[in-house]
Amino acid sequence: MPPSQRSATAPSLRPFGVRWRWALLLMLAFGSGLLVASNPFRPSSENPAGTARAYLRFKEILSYVDRDYVDSADTEGLTDYAVARMLEKLDPHSVYLPANEREKADAFLKSSFEGVGLDFYFFRDTATVSSTLRSGPAEEAGVRLGDQLLRVGTKEVAGAHLTSSQLTALLRGARSSAVVLTVQRPGQPEPLSFTVMRRRLPNPSVEPGTVLADQQTGYLKINRFAGSTYDEFKKELDGLRRQGMTRLVLDLRGNPGGYLDRATRMADEFIAGSRKLVYTDGKGEQYDTQTYAHVPGDWEQGPLVVLVDENSASAAEVLAGALQDHDRALLVGRRTFGKGLVQQPIALQDGGELRLTIARYYTPAGRCIQKPYGRDAAAYQHELAERERRGELTSADSIPVAKELRFLTDHGRAVYGGGGIVPDVFVARDTVQNSAYFTHLCRRGVLRAYALAYYQHHKAALAALRPAQYQASFQLADAELAGVGRLGQLAGLPAGGAALRRCAPLVRHFIKAYVAQSVYGSEAARAVLREDDAELQQALQAVKDDTALVAILQQS
């Protein structure tokens, strides 16, 4: 979801039609590829004298700066800067997290949090409530869809140029603590204030599974690998099986990773016997590991297709790579991110944490998942943009193939290393519709704002429609589409014109989904988004094609 529309305190609708590369990279740095283990300090025996000299040199220079520099110097800030630059010289994913950042990074991997239970989006620097968690603290206190947040406690938030994460931090807090939310409600002359008691709320990583229109294909989306992901996955998979699912589409698009063991436990549900799932290779043998399947899984034989894209990373790539190497699933989409470095979290005395790369991930066939990186951190950060520039997102022929890194799957199919997992079936990204103008419409909250206004003006008519009727009949007229362009101008965008016409199908589709969310809830919105999902449609064709799947579904 665009940064201006991310959830503050409740699980939110996350459309898979829009990708935010820098947000993914932040998660990759802070929360992915983690091994769960302790790591007490043990000085290296390889170069103790050199390490000692370097430590004394830094200590001496810092002391001189602190004592003699002409102006006052923030020595802690300088140390943080030096540490960050030092780690950049190692690899893109070794990072130091100060104590105040560590909690934020850990929240990504937690299955619950303390909050008030509302979603919001920003439009013209004002946060508007886009949904409230059913029976959550905010709803029970009286906060409603469409309320504009003016103050959180004593803090002015309207027009304060806050980021989503800053506003989220204000809304979250200790369990049972109270916060007063002051809002402006449309139609009310004066602001309203509500006292909301924070409490622990679920933060699911697996979206509710659904059986699609053919009544045979189950669809399950995994957004990240957090603490409760495996248990959530098992629950949803069991529910799909009880509904008569005979084939499964597993969606890993946009999944930035998380805990490795959750991903391998999930792989074990699909892969029979005691076959290798992943291995890591580090310095010496200390961090070398091999993980194998070892339990009878719940879906070891049924047809399986996995959706991946350029934002599938780390643990998601481990799962996809294992399924592909063992010919257990057909992968559909685009080449994955290529994050195959393993970070060890090391608690530091100041409350911060060092996440140090200690190994690399390899698929069962021997492919290294990590894409190449050099000393240019900026180039690595913009690698996805470079893929788009050279045409990789629209043409399979543009995907780089390292012929010397050729490996074979269990049934002898050729797969290649060099970074990321290349899918078996390529689906181009529509870069015409996914234009910069459409990105700005999303990022500035224009589509959300228009959808909410539409819902408020047509509430009675929409309430009379059942979800299936709405899904079959809703269509944004041309005159209404022009209204989106005018709202975009209010948000500071240039007049849409041709740019708006080019992305009109996406604009219509997303507004239809956002209106559905207001009327029926997030599940109805996700159902709308699945209607026009090219990658999912390709996956459905593949999972239904017995001829295409026979090679990978046969017993080894």
The catalytic site residues sit at 314, 325, 339
Question: Contact, 322 vs 363, CB < 8 A?
Answer: yes
DSSP letters for 139-207: HHHT--TTPEEEEETTEE-TTS---HHHHHHHH--STT-EEEEEEE-TT-SS-EEEEEE-EEEE--SBP
Task: Report the C-alpha gap between 15 and 36 in whole angstroms.
Answer: 30
Please provide the distance, in angstroms rounded to a whole number, between the alpha carbons at the two ends of the chain.
40
* Residue keyed to tokens 């022009």: 482
Q: How many CA atoms lie within 13 A of 70 on its CB side?
A: 0
262: how many CB neighbours lie within 10 A of its CB?
26
> Please, what sign has the CA dihedral across residues 353, 359, 365, 368?
positive
* CA-angle at 512, arms to 511 and 513, nearest 5°: 90
Integer angstrom CA distances of residue 36 from 33, 204, 288, 318, 417 = 10, 20, 14, 16, 26
From the CA atom positions of the chain, what is the Rg in Å? 25
Residues in the chain: 556
* CA-angle at 148, arms to 144 and 149, nearest 5°: 100
Q: How many CA atoms lie within 13 A of 446 on its CB side?
A: 26
Find the DSSP H helices in 285-336.
Answer: 315-325
- Distance from CA of residue 64 to its chain's centroid? 44
> Please, what sign has the CA dihedral across residues 339, 342, 347, 350?
negative
For residue 313, give the nearest of 383, 377, 394 by alpha carbon.
383
Give the 3-state secondary structure of residue 34.
strand
For residue 120, give the nearest of 155, 156, 157 by alpha carbon.
157
Question: Contact, 199 vs 114, CB < 8 A?
Answer: yes
Question: Contact, 185 vs 147, CB < 8 A?
Answer: yes
* Residue type, position 228, single letter: S
